[in-house]
Structure 1
Amino acid sequence: MTELSQYPALLSEIKAQIHAAQSRAMLAVNAELVQLYWHVGQTLHTRQAQSGWGAGIIPRLAQDIRNELPEVKGFSARNLDRMLAFARAYPQPQVFSPQLVAKMARVEIVPQAVAKTADKESVLWQLPWGHHALLLEKIKDLEVRCWYLGQTLVQGWSRNTLALQIKGQAHDRHGQLINNFAERLSSPQSDLVQQSLKDPYIFDFLTLEAGFHERELEVYLVAHIEKFLLELGQGFAFVGRQYHLTVGDKDFYLDLLFYHLKLRCYLVIELKRGDFKPEYAGKLNFYCNVVDDSLRHASDAPTIGLMLCQDKDNVLAEYALRGIDKPIGIASYELTRSLPTTLQSALPSIESIEAELNSYATAETHPES
């Protein structure tokens, strides 16, 4: 009877070992594939430089590989062009160590798989080929490309998510909000919080009439919680909307309450329609105090406040944070307005959008095509 009661734990342990081995095998296969593609691209680059071959050699090479190695996939003319561009973009891949990419991406945490990579080995091998193809196509500046590379490794972005982050120019928004983190948090926590938040936040998945109410914005954000969490970034766990707190004999309700799994702290988000007002900072400071006293565990970091307004005066926001005890950031948000009925006919149909998404998903599954 005792042996049977212990069997589920045994099964779980062995399943975990199998999944871990499968993950390591997939990482190893991906690393070998990306290295192969770099070496092929480097060979093409060298031969073109030495022999003066033009672009016409690549279609011929793709055809001959297809004829002589029909079982090998991923060597179409288009993908060979990508390999050539990949080798030219990173002529010395060993330079891109975990430490260098983390610095260029302005991140402090490197995933376990990358952290175990020796300094002499390249982080480039850790990223799937489809991600590399997308980065090379969309981002020409090396430093910006490395920012997305590092963030992808840390955040675990899929190819579709990476495309959305590039479209939203995430590199220009991270760490840009007005805040007092350096004064209210110890290092490196202050740096981690700074890089975990952004300005502005883009809620382009919402459409609201011009005279919307703040409560309406809350409801819509929670209704689209997956997209909301994607815009917030990795690590945010949703706790509740209009979260109830009691102080003395009075009731208070937080607009949105989150817990950040990496920062190990609560995050109070207050939403305001219109411009930022100085009194908002005092109210948010009050909420953070209450959360610290009533919800915060002894091992948690201090609660953070995030004020989101449609617009803000940076100087006014900086003055408002002076003397505030709690770590607070002030950022703006942008959202899609409801379109007039006369313009709605110009929008793409649901069918065309679905077709576009399906084609994009196919490109991610078969990036070599």
Structure 2
Amino acid sequence: MPDSIKNKNDELYSQIASVLSKSRQFVVSTVNTTMVRTYFEIGRIIVENEQNGKSRAEYGKETLKNLSERLTKDFGKGFSQRNLEQMRQFFLVYSNQIPQTLSAEFTLSWSHYLFLMRIENPEERKFYEIECKNSNWSLRELRRQFDSALYERLALSKNKEGVKQLSKKGIVVAKPEDIVKDPYILEFLGLPEKAEYSESDLEQKLIDRLEKFLLELGKGYAFVGRQIRFTFDEEHYRVDLVFYNRLLQCFVLIDLKIGKLTHQDLGQMQMYVNYYDRFVKLEHENKTIGIVLCKNKNDALVEITLPKDNTQIFASKYETVLPKKEELKKLIEE
């Protein structure tokens, strides 16, 4: 077959395959939205019937069991007594925030909502719901972000109004502080809390699990390279990890420290950032951000070392095990 005909055939196939792929995605999305809306309506009917009838205990014991048996017989699987109880709970949790236009609200899967319903704090629940939509989190990623206490970690760095905004808009990236977390949770590296490892070991683990590390870093990150070398005044220097944040349009340099943070570490990062600002970044790009990722740090040392108007250099702890959410919640309350 001549190359010209083969190329035309390939192009024809690609166009049709693209149409089919988009069509299937639309069908899956439509089916999912319809199913979730249906479960919400079933929950509404159950609640309204319950309110007009017997006590909840009697209702749950008698009516839901009978209803489950009849629905299963006529419509197949999916209507166990437990599932009907979940639909009822779904309506109770979301009835106050869902307007009449249900199709505009239910964009996640039923599995997502089953998980979200278990989050008692409504502001925290709304935050994770927004981030699921905005970042297209799978159920697995939602669980991981919740288990790593993302909401609490972000809330610790914000005032009361900032915490409220998390539940209204999710994560909004507008300034350097918005892309920095403290601590970063790196439990996916598989490093025990007290294991002995070198900075090069830590770096290699992060590279090996780069996709997960990018998710933990947050929105807008793109990987540039590791051990990026630059030469200044005939001296060679290497930046452990270099990223670019598309939302802030700036380079983000990360230096890894497995021991205690020192003022020399911050000074070294300041030099790296200055070099990138003066010799690497383009005119239209914003100032470089530097993050020293360390196992231990002294906040007082960081504060006295960095200028008061600092917006470029940050020091953040990292943890290799999942945090205790209750302890973080207490810190937020305090």
Provide the TM-score with structure 2 as the length reference: 0.79
Query: Of 227, 239, 247, which aligns to 2:212?
Result: 227
Instruction: Give the aligned partner of residue 351 of structure 1.
Output: none
Post-superposition shift, 1:23? 2.5
1:288 aligns with 2:293: no
Q: How does 1:136-215 map to 2 (within 5 A)?
A: 136-137=117-118, 139-174=119-154, 176=156, 191=174, 193-204=176-187, 205-207=189-191, 210-215=195-200
Secondary structure of the residue aligned to 2:191 is strand
Q: Give the letter aligned to residue 229 of structure 2.
A: H
Instruction: Give the aligned partner of residue 113 of structure 2.
Output: 132
Query: Of 205, 227, 236, which aligns to 1:242?
Result: 227
Gaps of 5+ in 2: 159-170, 322-334
Report the CA distance shift for 1:256/1:291 in structure 2 as closer, same or farther (over 3 A): same
Post-superposition shift, 1:324? 7.1
Q: What are the Cα deviations for residues 47-98 of structure 1, in whole angstroms up to 9, with x where unaligned?
A: 111012521222221111111223xx42222221111111001123435xxx
Query: Of 53, 61, 77, which aligns to 2:67?
Result: 61
Secondary structure of the residue aligned to 1:174 is helix
* Mapped partners of 1:264, 1:126: distance in 2: 30
Query: Of 81, 86, 104, which aligns to 1:82?
Result: 86
Report the CA distance shift for 1:39/1:251 in structure 2 as closer, same or farther (over 3 A): same
Query: Of 39, 59, 67, which aligns to 1:37?
Result: 39
Report the CA distance shift for 1:172/1:290 in structure 2 as closer, same or farther (over 3 A): same
Q: Give the letter aligned to residue 55 of structure 1.
A: G
Q: Give the letter aligned to residue 181 of structure 2.
A: K
Instruction: Give the aligned partner of residue 324 of structure 2.
Output: none
Post-superposition shift, 1:194? 3.3
Report the CA distance shift for 1:210/1:93 in structure 2 as closer, same or farther (over 3 A): closer
Conservation of the 8 A alpha-carbon contact between 1:263 and 1:301: yes
Q: Give the letter aligned to residue 136 of structure 1.
A: M
Secondary structure of the residue aligned to 2:60 is coil
Secondary structure of the residue aligned to 1:330 is strand
* Mapped partners of 1:259, 1:176: distance in 2: 25
Instruction: Give the aligned partner of residue 294 of structure 2.
Output: 309
RMSD: 3.0
Provide the TM-score with structure 1 as the length reference: 0.72
* Mapped partners of 1:79, 1:195: distance in 2: 39
Instruction: Give the aligned partner of residue 217 of structure 1.
Output: 202
Report the CA distance shift for 1:41/1:202 in structure 2 as closer, same or farther (over 3 A): same
1:19 aligns with 2:21: yes
Instruction: Give the aligned partner of residue 165 of structure 2.
Output: none
* Mapped partners of 2:7, 2:224: distance in 1: 34
Secondary structure of the residue aligned to 1:290 is helix
Q: How does 1:313-324 map to 2 (within 5 A)?
A: 313-322=298-307
* Mapped partners of 1:125, 1:243: distance in 2: 44
Report the CA distance shift for 1:125/1:233 in structure 2 as closer, same or farther (over 3 A): same
Instruction: Give the aligned partner of residue 275 of structure 1.
Output: 260
Q: Give the letter aligned to residue 278 of structure 1.
A: H
Report the CA distance shift for 1:90/1:325 in structure 2 as closer, same or farther (over 3 A): closer
Post-superposition shift, 1:149? 0.5
Conservation of the 8 A alpha-carbon contact between 2:37 and 2:102: no
Aligned length: 302
* Mapped partners of 1:66, 1:140: distance in 2: 31
Report the CA distance shift for 1:197/1:28 in structure 2 as closer, same or farther (over 3 A): farther
Report the CA distance shift for 1:189/1:51 in structure 2 as closer, same or farther (over 3 A): closer
Conservation of the 8 A alpha-carbon contact between 2:37 and 2:103: no
Report the CA distance shift for 1:94/1:314 in structure 2 as closer, same or farther (over 3 A): same
Report the CA distance shift for 1:244/1:126 in structure 2 as closer, same or farther (over 3 A): same
Q: What are the Cα deviations for residues 26-57 of structure 1, in whole angstroms up to 9, with x where unaligned?
A: 22222211111111001101111101252122
Q: What are the Cα deviations for residues 93-134 of structure 1, in whole angstroms up to 9, with x where unaligned?
A: 435xxxxxxxxxxxxxxxxxxxxxxx9656640111100001
* Mapped partners of 1:195, 1:24: distance in 2: 33
Conservation of the 8 A alpha-carbon contact between 2:72 and 2:78: no
Report the CA distance shift for 1:121/1:326 in structure 2 as closer, same or farther (over 3 A): same
Post-superposition shift, 1:216? 2.5
